[in-house]
Amino acid sequence: MKAAAVVACLAAAACAAPALWKNPDLDPGRWPLDRAECRSRAQAKAEGEYIRDQDIGQPDQWQEAMARYDAGKRVLALYAHCMTAKGYTRAGGED
């Protein structure tokens, strides 16, 4: 049950108002592929970290809510790192 909630939370975080990324050295058709790859990697890594951290103990409601929030922020940070590693720069929008 918790894992399903985490997946939904992380997916929502990764889809929320993504920043615009540009890489003038690449064909614009490459953008959707790189975006999908970075999004998938970020979600998988953040979900694994969240589940690992939840196995440490039984958090109360507040701790669990904060852990989900942190996991969502982690998805965005991992996504940005992946896009930067692929040579993209942030061109605007929100994370």
Convert the pLDDT of each residue in 8-65 to its tens digit: 555 555 455 456 899 999 998 999 999 999 999 999 999 988 887 776 666 678 888 8
Q: What is the DSSP string of 27-73?
A: -GGGHHHHHHHHHHHHHHHHHHHHHHHHTTS---HHHHHHHHHHHHH
The pLDDT, as a whole number, for residue 38 is 96
pTM recorded for the entire structure: 0.71
